[in-house]
Amino acid sequence: MPTEKGAGWSEVVRLALTEDIGSGDVTSRACIPESQKAAGRFMARERFVVAGLEVLREIYDLRGGVDELTLLRRDGDRVGENDTLASVRGKARTLLECERVALNFLQRLSGVATRAREFADAVAGTGCRVLDTRKTTPGLRALEKKAAAAGGITNHRMGLFDAILIKNNHIAAAGGVRAAFERARGAGLPIEIETRTRDELRQALDAGATHVLLDNLTPAEAAEWIRETAGRARIELSGGITLENVRAYAETGADFVSSGAITHSARAVDISFRLELL
């Protein structure tokens, strides 16, 4: 998965800076001498799991005007109110023009990491792993999946290109479970297939499926279907899985549970930027 600096998310950082700064920060230019230096601190204003700190390097590398950036925490760290996450020194104008973009990324990504940690903690000891999904903010998938992993869950496929997931519409278009599965074999990629009925589950197992997705079942239904597989395939559960019920699903014997809520419903956490003149 492309999560290193410059791989998959440099352009989105550039676009975010362009969107906010445009032709220039007219307020800072009007109020602050170009030569003025300052120091800034990113401060947590609540408890959360931090993520996105490496994006700060990308932001300041793209804008220039920064003498020193110190990351005081690492992605995945739990932080408390008033903890300092990072400090930066350089031109006051640069620090101010980058402030909102930096906070937007940190607050959003730390929110994803925090929600991911809540899901991971909820299933602790069950042997079941939590997966994220493709229900991400357009353009931010690499960063949001990196944040989710920092929170302690497992990344599912990055996109449509790195693994095969045969869902109900693929099955309908291919002419059935067996037909879809057989055609996918030659792709040389991992194959997972969704089954909506007990009959489809049996067809998938008989065709040789080793990774099956069961969607929109209750925990009791899921446990019954999983017993029927008798260990012939790894099982993922999805559909309606929330923080409140994820442990019940994890205790069914499933290998994985997936939830789009980790990314699409994560709340941005509260982080502030405090500036001091030098």
* Active site positions, annotated: 100, 135, 167, 194, 215
User: Which residues are registered as beta bridge partners of 49?
Assistant: 78
Q: Structure tokens of 36?
A: 């003025």
Structure tokens at 160: 């449509």
C-alpha torsion sign, points 73, 78, 84, 85: positive
The per-residue DSSP string of 77-96 comes to -EE-TT-EEEEEEEEHHHHH
- Cβ-contact 91, 38 below 8 angstroms: yes
Residue 259 is given by DSSP the state: -
Phi, psi of 212 (to 5 degrees): -120, 140
